[in-house]
Structure formats: C-alpha cells, structure tokens
Chains A and B, each alone.
Chain A
Amino acid sequence: MADFLQLTFSGLTTGAAYALVALGFAIVFRGTRAINFAQGEYVMLAGVTAGALHAWAHPPLAVVVVAVVLLGALCGLATEVACARFLRRPDPHTLTLATIGLGVAIKAVVLLATDRKAYTLPGFSGEATVALGGAVLDAQALWNCALVALAAGALAAFLRHAPLGVALRASADDAEMAAASGFSRRGAAAWSFALAGALAAAAGAGLAAVSPVNYDFGTLLGLKGFAAAMLGGLGSMPGAVVGGFAIGLMEAWFAGYVSGTYADVVAFSVLLVVLFTRPTGLFAAVRVERV
C-alpha cells in the first residue's frame, strides 16, 4: 500500500509537468488552431534560464520565477513574430510546421549557449518533503500541482469571461468574423503564444526545482505533454490537466509494477489509442460544423 501511494505521488510529480505542457498546447490551439510543437523546448529553455540565472546571481527565488515567466511570455511573442510575421494569412498548418523548426532551433541554440551543462533550482520551499501514509512527497511536487491548478483555473476563467479571452476564442472559431468585429487574427495568435510561453516558463522553473534540466530534456517532455493534451481533448483546459496527471500516474504505476524500461511507451500507446478510438479526446466539446 505504501508502495502504491509512493508511486502515485511520483506520478503526480511528473503529471504536473505534463499538465502544464498540455495547457500550453491547449491555449495555442484555442487561439490559433495550430499545434505548437516548440512547447517542450520552451519549458526546457525556461528551466535552463532559471537555473543559469540562479547559479549566476543567486537572486531570490521569486525574482527568478517572475523573470523567467516574463521572459517566457516574450519568447512566445517572439515565436508569433518569427512564424507569422512574414505570412499574410498564417493558416494553422503552416504555423504548426514552423513551430517544429523553431523547436529544433531553440534546442540547438541552448546546446551551444550552455555548453550542454545541466542546471537546477532549489525547491520553492527548500528540500522539504511531506511524509504521508508511509510514502514521501517532494514538497516541490505540491508547488507544481498548485501551479497547474492556478494556471488551469486562470486560463479557463480568462477564456470564458475576459473580453480578450472571448475575442480569442471567437477568432479561432471564425477569424474573418472576429476581424470584422475589430479583433485581428494576429492579435489572437500573439496573445495565445505569449500565454503559452508564460505557462511553459512556469513549468520550466517548477521542473528545474525537481530535477536537473539540460538542453536535451524538452523534446520528450513536449511529446508527452502533447499526448496528454490529446487524451484530454485538444483545446480543453480541464482536459489538459486530467490528461497530464493521467499520463503521469500511468507511467509511474507502469514503471513501479511492470517495467521502467518501457515506461515511455505508456504515453505514446495512450496517444495511439486516443487517435484511433476517440480523436476528440475525453473532454472536447462536440464541434458543430455548419455547412
């Protein structure tokens, strides 16, 4: 039983990271109908930057986190500029393709800039752990779960109630109509990429506090986050959270009870099953296409 609890805790720790990445996929999809395959590399970039900043100047942790979140938002904006600036009509497919290229570029730049070093942050509340029912939970995992809840809640509320959020959804549904009402597609894309960048940065900082981060660690994370987003239903905020934790838990249980060697297969098997049986995922609303 203690083992089960321990594996569950461990699944929540990784699941929180997947959920944050999945939320990034969700927001970009909501705003642009594109899939941002650079999302994992954003997380990596933020984690490495946070760790490097900490190692270089030792500022208070809160300063590091705020700084990388702002930087993440800027990177998101820069992505939008880089990918869409030259396009008169950036359709989702081109944008998706462009993010793949961008992801490769980010990884290469970080590799060269950091000399392939790994970076780490201290836990937000030190090296504290929480003991519960014979199992131990890294306090940082709680922070990361809180981060997920906060991000998902804020995003859902923003999309539902804030005028900008509503405009963003409207633009993704029907860009022409939204533009006619005074909200450009460019604006929608810029905002969603900025939000995705900020989310990724929060995830990066949270993860660097759990384990060391180097240039190589964003790619697999991004793909697993994508699997989580697909499982929950691409574009759904609750779906992203549930999908992220579900994949994290399944992986941990699989590694603990069956085999760690094939734990990575779990996320991608889930992705395949979802694609074959329920491509809209668990939470996606039925989309009515009017002809």
Chain B
Amino acid sequence: MQPGRFTPRRARALALLLVSATLALAACGSDDGGGAGASASGGAATSAGGGEPIKVGSLFSVTGPPAVVGDKMRKGLELAVEEINAAGGVDGRPLEVVFYDPAGDTAKAVDQTRRLISRDRVDVVVGGGSQSGIALAMEPLLQRADVLFMATEGAREIVQPAEERRTTFKSTFNDTVILQRTADFWRARGVRRVGFLPDTSGFGESAKAELERIAAASGLEVRSASFDPTATNLTPQLTKLRRGDPQAYVAWTTTPAATTFLENARQLGLGDGVLLGLGFGSADPAFYEQAGAAAKGALLSAGKLPIYDRLPDDDPQKAIIARFVEAYQARYDEPANVFAAQAYDGVKLVAEAIRAAGGDLSGRALAAALEGLGTYAGVNGDFRYTAEDHSGLGVDAVAISEWDGRRFVPARDGLAR
C-alpha cells in the first residue's frame, strides 16, 4: 500500500461519513424555507403605524409531502399580512409573522409550536402545518397556552367537538359541508347509487365516514373502495365498484392519483351517462389537464374560486374572489388557488377578531370576538362562527363545477339556491 492512501478502515469511515453527509444534505434541502426558524416580519410592516407589532405564529409545510399545499398557504398568508400592514396594521399595530416549516413532520411541528409559545411568545397562530394531522397535534398545546389558533387545514376534528376546542377555529370547509352539497347535487341529478374512492390518508378516511353518514340520512347507496395515495392504477378499485352499477363515481384525494382515477375510469368505459368527480383536495386544474380528454365533463366539489368569473353577477362572492385572485396574481405571478385563499381568509378573520376584542389578545377573548363577528365575507365564502361551529363555512359556499376541457365552469344544478 502506498503511503498516504486510504486504509480499508479509513475508507469505510469515509463511506459512512459520505452517507451521513448525503442524508444530512437531503434533510437540509427539504428544510429549505425557514426550517431553522426564519422570523420574518410581514413585507410591509414598516408602513404600518408605530404600535408594538402583533406576533402571528405560523406553521406551513413548504417542503415535504404536503408542500404543494403549504407553498400556496404561505403565500396567501403573506399577501394578507402585507395588505393589512399596508393599510396601517390592526389598530395601528403591524402584524409580524414568525414562520416555521415542519416539512410534514408532526413531531417537528410540536417542537416548533412549543417554541412559538414559550420562546417567540406569539399572540395568535395561523396555519397548522398544511396537514390536518399536524394541526390536530398543535391544537391542545395552543389551547393550554390560551393562544388563538386559526387552522387552515381541512379535517373537521380540528374544531370538533367545539366545547373542547374553545380557542381553535379553522378557515376551511368541513368535508361534511362539501359532501352534503355534493349529495344534494346528486339528488338533483337523479343519482342514487354512488361509488366512492377515498385514499387511505386521514383526508380520505374522514370523508368516507362522513359520506356514509350522509348517505344513510339522504337515501343514497354508497359503496367505497380505498386506495393508497401514491397508487398508479385504480382499475382494481373501479372494477370492484362497477359491480354495484353506480351512477356516479367520486375520488377523494390530494395526490396525482386523482388524474389516474379519471384516466382509468374512461378506459373502463365509465363516464357515458355516469358522473365522474373529484373532491376539494383536487381543486387544481393540473389534475384535469394531465388527464387530457379523459377529464372532459368531470366534476369538482369545492369552493367557488375556480369558477368565480362564471358566477352570476348577483353572487356577492364574485367580486370578493376577483379582488383576491388579481392581487395574488400581481404579487406572485402565478394563479391563486383555494389553499392560498384559506390562509388569506385565516389572517383576515384573525385581524377582524383582534379589532373586535379591543386589545385583549388572550385566546378566550379572541374566540369570543370571532363567535360574535356575525357574517364575515371571505374569499372562500361567508364565515359564520358560532360557539358550536368553529369552521364557519356553510353549504352555500360550495359549488359543483365541471371541467369543459380547458377550464372549470359551473355544472348544471351545481350552485346552491
């Protein structure tokens, strides 16, 4: 062996080092965007009044599995904060955002939440890590610390039962509301037998339980077949459901499996005289665009944002959404979506509550203020928080849209009357 060359032992040590370095690098890579605890005040904080800033803690997974959603949420939050600060803040006090990225990791999110409470001493928290499971884990910590928590995640358990979630609210649809509206739509279209394809994540599982409950109450015959969120082939599930001869199929997921569902369903020849649809987790045109011809005529159960410009002029939602969509487009040079709107609404609602509470920033005071707001017209619909309902949005905010091959348009019977 030549002097100075690696001995096998040193070589092995080096290999281990290399592996750990690669892993560490990967971890850092996915941590990008503030995992280390970026504290950024809202962009326009300086233009607000000279008051002491109100600290808004925020957790969004801008990396990791829920990143598609988290990225939009963070931008929606920033936009709202900038708008509020540009208009002089809340009662002369600017909002200051303390942001962490849990990257889809619940344990990390819990640590970050503790840091928000004890080290950063934030006044309110908006955003529950872009994943319902994370928001659920953050909730008890924030409630114990008497910090108002405005979750921007979907699962209804985040705010239910309301008597155990005194200081926790959310700015999103309950899947209950979306499914109820969808069931009404099916009834209007004469559909009785439904094939339901939820994925095996919490998002899908929750919808499955809820749809089965709604079905029992409204005389629908629902059969379900679940699939893994990374599935590349849903033909087995569709084949299984086909035996019950459903008049409508709906897939409930947030992953590209939504596209696969549309393609597989058309390949099996379903869709002629049968309604194919996706849930509000798939409210992104990309899911439909990538399915090509297979997506034409497919439905979407979600908020009114994707079809806002096609709403009747007497719908008050039209102008509100238009203003938000244009502001978002101008700020980020990319189209807004429902997730951005959820975070945007969340911040605006909290600001309203702070104003109404008159200086008392305790969780209980702000919760009482939110419950007393009456109707607040947000981007995703009218929020009506009550002591029993901390989710606020009702069926009137839900629309069933149809993909016409290029964009979403309102479906026949798709808007609540």
Q: Report A's interface with B, CB cutoff 8 A.
A: 3, 6-7, 9-11, 13-14, 17, 82-83, 86-91, 94, 97-98, 100-102, 104-105, 107-109, 111-112, 115-118, 120, 122, 127, 129, 136, 138, 207, 210-214, 216-217, 220-221, 251-253, 255-257, 259-261, 263-264
Centre residue among A17, A105, A252 by max chain B CB count within 10 A: A105
Besides the contacts A13-B235, A83-B18, A89-B11, what 19 more A-B pairs have beta carbons closer than 8 Å? Answer: A6-B235, A86-B18, A87-B6, A87-B14, A88-B8, A89-B8, A94-B16, A101-B19, A101-B26, A107-B26, A108-B27, A108-B30, A111-B30, A207-B232, A211-B259, A212-B260, A214-B255, A261-B226, A263-B227
- Assess whether B259 is in contact with A260, with CB atoms less than 8 Å apart: no
Please name all residues of chain A whose beta carbon is closer than 8 Å to the beta carbon of B65 when the two chains form the complex: 216
- Assess whether B243 is in contact with A210, with CB atoms less than 8 Å apart: no
- A252–B234 Cα distance when bound, in Å, is 9
Chain B interface mostly helix, strand, loop or mixed?
helix
Minimum C-beta distance from B283 to chain A (A): 15
Q: Which chain A residue lies CB-closest to B24?
A: A101
- A249–B283 Cα distance when bound, in Å, is 32
- Assess whether B12 is in contact with A94, with CB atoms less than 8 Å apart: yes
**Complex interface: stretch among B139-147, B263-271, B311-319:** B263-271
- Assess whether B267 is in contact with A104, with CB atoms less than 8 Å apart: no
- Assess whether A257 is in contact with B235, with CB atoms less than 8 Å apart: no
Can you name 16 A-B pairs with beta carbons within 8 Å?
Answer: A14-B232, A83-B18, A87-B6, A88-B11, A91-B12, A97-B16, A101-B26, A104-B22, A107-B26, A136-B267, A212-B256, A216-B255, A221-B230, A255-B240, A260-B226, A260-B228
- A250–B290 Cα distance when bound, in Å, is 29
Among the listed B19, B25, B228, B257, which residue makes an inter-chain contact with A220, where contact means beta carbons less than 8 Å apart?
B228
Centre residue among B233, B259, B293 by max chain A CB count within 10 A: B233
The reply to whether the CB of B292 lies closer than 8 angstroms to some CB of chain A is: yes
Q: Report B's interface with A, CB cutoff 8 A.
A: 5-8, 11-12, 14-16, 18-20, 22-23, 25-27, 29-30, 32, 63, 65, 67-68, 71, 200, 225-228, 230, 232-233, 235-237, 239-240, 242-243, 255-257, 259-260, 263, 267-269, 286, 290, 292-294
Q: Which chain A residue lies CB-closest to B240?
A: A256
Please name all residues of chain A whose beta carbon is closer than 8 Å to the beta carbon of B67 when the two chains form the complex: 111, 116
Nearest first, the 10 closest Cβ-Cβ pairs linking A and B are A101-B22, A255-B236, A10-B235, A212-B256, A118-B256, A108-B29, A261-B226, A256-B236, A211-B260, A108-B26
Among the listed A97, A211, A252, A259, which residue makes an inter-chain contact with B15, where contact means beta carbons less than 8 Å apart?
A97
Please name all residues of chain B whose beta carbon is closer than 8 Å to the beta carbon of A102 when the two chains form the complex: 22
- A221–B232 Cα distance when bound, in Å, is 10
- Assess whether A127 is in contact with B292, with CB atoms less than 8 Å apart: yes
Please name all residues of chain B whose beta carbon is closer than 8 Å to the beta carbon of A212 when the two chains form the complex: 256, 259-260, 290
- Assess whether B259 is in contact with A129, with CB atoms less than 8 Å apart: no
- Assess whether B225 is in contact with A260, with CB atoms less than 8 Å apart: yes
Q: Which chain A residue lies CB-closest to B268?
A: A136
- Assess whether A7 is in contact with B236, with CB atoms less than 8 Å apart: yes
Please name all residues of chain A whose beta carbon is closer than 8 Å to the beta carbon of B6 when the two chains form the complex: 86-88
Q: Which chain A residue lies CB-closest to B226?
A: A261
Minimum C-beta distance from A225 to chain B (A): 13
- Assess whether A260 is in contact with B11, with CB atoms less than 8 Å apart: no
- A105–B255 Cα distance when bound, in Å, is 22
Centre residue among B71, B232, B259 by max chain A CB count within 10 A: B232
Please name all residues of chain B whose beta carbon is closer than 8 Å to the beta carbon of A91 when the two chains form the complex: 12
**A211-B232 CB under 8 A given contacts A101-B26, A136-B268:** yes
Please name all residues of chain A whose beta carbon is closer than 8 Å to the beta carbon of B226 when the two chains form the complex: 259-261
Q: Which chain B residue lies CB-closest to A213?
A: B256
Please name all residues of chain A whose beta carbon is closer than 8 Å to the beta carbon of B236 when the two chains form the complex: 7, 10-11, 251-253, 255-256, 260, 263
Minimum C-beta distance from A171 to chain B (A): 18
Please name all residues of chain A whose beta carbon is closer than 8 Å to the beta carbon of B232 when the two chains form the complex: 14, 17, 207, 210-211, 217, 221
- Assess whether B237 is in contact with A127, with CB atoms less than 8 Å apart: no
- A261–B57 Cα distance when bound, in Å, is 37
Q: Which chain A residue lies CB-closest to B289?
A: A120
Minimum C-beta distance from A275 to chain B (A): 22
Minimum C-beta distance from A39 to chain B (A): 16
Q: Which chain A residue lies CB-closest to B243?
A: A3
- Assess whether B239 is in contact with A216, with CB atoms less than 8 Å apart: no
- A105–B21 Cα distance when bound, in Å, is 10
- A21–B318 Cα distance when bound, in Å, is 50
- Assess whether B200 is in contact with A112, with CB atoms less than 8 Å apart: no
Minimum C-beta distance from B264 to chain A (A): 8
- Assess whether B14 is in contact with A86, with CB atoms less than 8 Å apart: yes
Please name all residues of chain B whose beta carbon is closer than 8 Å to the beta carbon of A214 when the two chains form the complex: 255-256
**A97-B8 CB under 8 A given contacts A136-B268, A136-B269, A263-B236:** no
Please name all residues of chain A whose beta carbon is closer than 8 Å to the beta carbon of B255 when the two chains form the complex: 214, 216
**A211-B22 CB under 8 A given contacts A87-B14, A94-B12, A116-B68:** no
**A211-B256 CB under 8 A given contacts A10-B235, A107-B26, A136-B267:** yes
Please name all residues of chain A whose beta carbon is closer than 8 Å to the beta carbon of B242 when the two chains form the complex: 3
Centre residue among B27, B290, B294 by max chain A CB count within 10 A: B290
